[in-house]
Amino acid sequence: MRARFSLASLVLLLALFFAGAAQAVKPDEVLQDPALEARARVLSEGLRCMVCQNQSIEESDADLARDLRILVRQRLVAGDTDQQVLDYIVSRYGEFVLLKPRFSLRNALLWGAPVLLLLAGGLFIVLTARSRRPASAALSAEEQEALDKMLRN
């Protein structure tokens, strides 16, 4: 009895562990050509679901993700290269649809701006602190006499 419970528990744990790996691709979406289907799956892994935003269209059950998976497969069947498919999707939905954005000057500025702002802020603080140093002015003769008088008393 105990062995059955342990085996059932193990099976349940394994099922829960592998449940996250389930794909959202429906059987009617799968291409007949295994090579094209493999390309479609690789491309779908790199495209963001615009509804879920933290999942690829390969993993998402959203209707828009399904439409994008079908669109990717249609473009591949039409003879597009992987790059042409990605370019087409990006032209329609913007670069946000890519899970790994392309390197461009705009993206470099976006990622580099916080570092540049921190450096500029640090430089501003250093220069401001240097310009606010108290000036050491010599005491006038009258002030020196008053000070000496106070110190003697």
| Residue-level pLDDT at 20 | 45
CB atoms within 10 A of CB 41: 18
For the ranges 2-16, 53-67, 104-118, 122-136, the lowest mean pLDDT is seen at 2-16
Place of tokens 């603080």: 125
Look up residue 9 and give its two tokens. 């528990």
| Residue-level pLDDT at 107 | 79
Check pLDDT > 90 for residue 139: no
- Say if CB 37 and CB 30 are below 8 A apart: yes
pTM score of the predicted model? 0.57
Higher pLDDT, 92 or 131: 92
CA 138 from centre of chain? 59
CB atoms within 10 A of CB 145: 11
CB atoms within 10 A of CB 113: 10
Residue 135: DSSP 8-state: P
Q: How far apart are the first and last CA of the chain?
A: 100
The 3-class SS string of 97-109 reads: HECCCCCCHHHHH
